[in-house]
Amino acid sequence: MTKLNCGFVHIPRTGGSSIRKALSNYSYLGDEGGHLSVADLLAGSQGGPKKHTFLNTFWFAFTRNPWDRFVSAYTYLKAQPDTKPGKLIKPFRTFKDFVMNIDGPHVRNTLDVIAKTRGGGFSRYRRLATTNLFDHFAPQRLFTRDKHGSQILDFVGKFENLQKDFDVACEKIGVPACTLPITNTANRKPYQEYYDDESRKVIGWEYNGDIEEFGYSYD
pLDDT digits (tens, 9 = 90+) for 102-158: 766 666 666 666 666 655 554 444 455 455 557 888 889 889 988 888 888 999 999
Report the number of secondary-structure helices (H) and strands (E) in the chain: 9, 3
| Rounded (10°) CA dihedral 65, 66, 69, 75 | -140
pTM for this one?
0.82
Nearest to 6 by CA among 156, 172, 164, 131: 172
pLDDT at 196: 96
Query: Quick one: average pLDDT of 40-53?
Result: 55
Quick one: three-class SS letters along 43-110?
Answer: CCCCCCCCCCCCCCCEEEEEECCHHHHHHHHHHHHHCCCCCHHHHHHCCCCCHHHHHHCCCCHHHHHH
Residue 65 has pLDDT above 80, yes or no: yes
Query: Quick one: average pLDDT of 178-183?
Result: 89
Cα 122 from Cα 129, distance rounded (Å): 7
pLDDT at 125: 41
Cα 23 from Cα 157, distance rounded (Å): 15
Q: Tell me, what amino acid is at 147?
A: K
pLDDT at 30: 54
pLDDT at 51: 44
pLDDT at 36: 79
Give 93: exposed, middle or buried? Use CB within 10 Å, 0-12, 13-18, 19+: exposed
Cα 193 from Cα 157, distance rounded (Å): 25
- Say which residues have a Cβ less than 8 Å from residue 93's Cβ, sequence separation at least 6: none
Q: Tell me, what amino acid is at 155?
A: F
pLDDT digits (tens, 9 = 90+) for 7-18: 899 999 999 999
- Cα distances (Å, whole numbers) of residue 80 to 65, 86, 87, 100: 23, 5, 8, 21
